[in-house]
């Protein structure tokens, strides 16, 4: 089975464009808000960018060191990698390396590069982008929606920022799903476009409707941020309670659990590869309560908004997106999700997989991919 193809190379190229567009437009907004003397918006926009970049650099450099130690990647000067990561260029470095080696492998200029090594690099890059999505893109989208609903003048740059955040979110979800499925034994990359499309729409509808609900809660009271922080803490505590085993060091594991908490603020995922039916039911019960009660709270507590068109539109999108998201969730897990994969969750011993009773060595990247978000 081909692990790294032209299709994967093109996905990496488009993913890099999405990443640069997202970070670039958000950075430009920081200076725009500052110039317009919206210092709080400028500071929050910068905070989300810095948080996503910092966490990604820490994980990226730690994985470089881990791969070097296990001789899974070519030996490179550690100081050079450290300098690039200090300047926030970890994802750019990985993208450059992947695109360069992938080009040589696919177009025949270099045949010695291992396909599994290329796929491992792809998996790490995809995971880092997913971290960035929920630490930077999703919070940024929430902030810009809040600004949009409270600021009369809008610029093209603000619309571009929201568009890039949204598409970066969608792209990261699909790209990671592709990597995850292909990392599983006896699993094809994507059996058809239908499961991927339904999965993407289910995620986008549920995440978008929740972000819109959060934006209305912020309009209702800025102290809603305390509630969002509490949700993050609950998610982090839940990950700690499950005793995740993702990182090789205790400090990184704590940071990883904090990332899990941030992801759970916006969407559900399986932390430990266990049966998720109960956890998913509980999660989407409270998700439904938030989405269906928020517009009603706005209706009764801020009656002056009843005649404002944007409030009616947002409320309609929340209810419609929530309903469609739940329908697509049920359809996906009832008819399109692989029954075999649903029954056999992969949470193996570090560096090993068990296929037909035999242990098979895996790369750290493959293990990391399997131990993060299960389908």
Give tens-digit pLDDT for 298-323: 888 887 776 677 888 899 999 999 99
The pLDDT value recorded for residue 170 is 87
Q: Which residue has the higher pLDDT, 368 or 81?
A: 81
Q: Which residue has the higher pLDDT, 324 or 312?
A: 324
Of 15-24, 54-63, 92-101, 366-375, least confident by mean pLDDT is: 366-375
Q: Which residue has the higher pLDDT, 309 or 273?
A: 309
Confidence of residue 345 (pLDDT cuts 50, 70, 90): very low
The pLDDT value recorded for residue 141 is 93
Question: Any bridge partners for residue 270, and if so which?
Answer: 374
C-beta separation of 244 from 322 below 8 A: no
The pLDDT value recorded for residue 76 is 57
pLDDT at 89 over 80: yes
Question: Any bridge partners for residue 355, and if so which?
Answer: 358
C-alpha triplet 369, 3, 66: angle, nearest 5° = 40
Supply the pTM of this predicted model: 0.86
Confidence of residue 354 (pLDDT cuts 50, 70, 90): very low
Q: Which residue has the higher pLDDT, 12 or 108?
A: 12
Confidence of residue 1 (pLDDT cuts 50, 70, 90): low
- The pLDDT of 110-132, averaged and rounded, is 81
- The pLDDT of 135-143, averaged and rounded, is 94
The pLDDT value recorded for residue 340 is 43
Q: Are strands 352-355 and 358-361 parallel, antiparallel or unpaired?
A: antiparallel
């Amino acid at each position: 089975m081909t692990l790294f193809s032209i299709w994967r190379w093109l996905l990496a190229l488009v993913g890099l464009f999405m990443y640069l567009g997202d970070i670039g437009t958000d950075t430009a907004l920081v200076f725009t808000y500052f110039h317009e003397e919206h210092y709080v918006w400028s500071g929050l926009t910068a905070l989300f960018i810095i948080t996503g970049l910092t966490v990604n650099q820490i994980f990226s450099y730690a994985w470089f060191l881990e791969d070097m130690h296990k001789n899974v990647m070519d030996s490179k000067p550690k100081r050079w990698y450290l300098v690039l990561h200090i300047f926030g260029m970890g994802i750019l470095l990985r993208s450059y390396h992947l695109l360069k080696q992938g080009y040589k492998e696919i177009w025949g200029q270099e045949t010695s590069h291992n396909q599994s090594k290329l796929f491992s690099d792809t998996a790490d890059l995809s995971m880092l982008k997913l971290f960035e999505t929920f630490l930077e893109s999703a919070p940024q989208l929430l902030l810009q929606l809040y600004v949009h609903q409270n600021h009369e003048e809008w610029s093209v740059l603000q619309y571009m920022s929201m568009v890039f955040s949204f598409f970066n979110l969608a792209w990261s979800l699909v790209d990671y799903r592709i990597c995850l499925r292909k990392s599983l034994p006896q699993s094809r990359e994507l059996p058809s476009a239908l499961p991927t499309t339904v999965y993407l729409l289910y995620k986008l509808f549920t995440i978008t409707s929740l972000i819109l609900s959060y934006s209305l809660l912020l309009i209702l009271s800025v102290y809603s941020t305390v509630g969002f922080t509490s949700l993050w803490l609950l998610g982090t505590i839940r990950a700690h309670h499950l005793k995740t085993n993702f990182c090789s060091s205790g400090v990184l594991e704590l940071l990883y659990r904090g990332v899990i908490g941030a992801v759970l603020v916006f969407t559900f995922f399986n932390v430990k590869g266990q049966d998720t039916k109960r956890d998913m039911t509980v999660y989407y019960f409270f998700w439904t309560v938030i989405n269906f009660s928020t517009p009603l709270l706005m209706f009764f507590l801020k009656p002056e908004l009843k005649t404002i068109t944007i409030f009616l539109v947002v409320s309609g999108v929340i209810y419609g997106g929530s309903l469609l998201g739940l329908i697509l969730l049920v359809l996906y897990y009832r008819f399109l999700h692989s029954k075999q994969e649903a029954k056999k969750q992969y949470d193996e011993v570090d560096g090993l997989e068990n296929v037909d009773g035999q242990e098979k060595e895996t790369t750290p990247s493959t293990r990391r991919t399997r131990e993060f978000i299960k389908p």
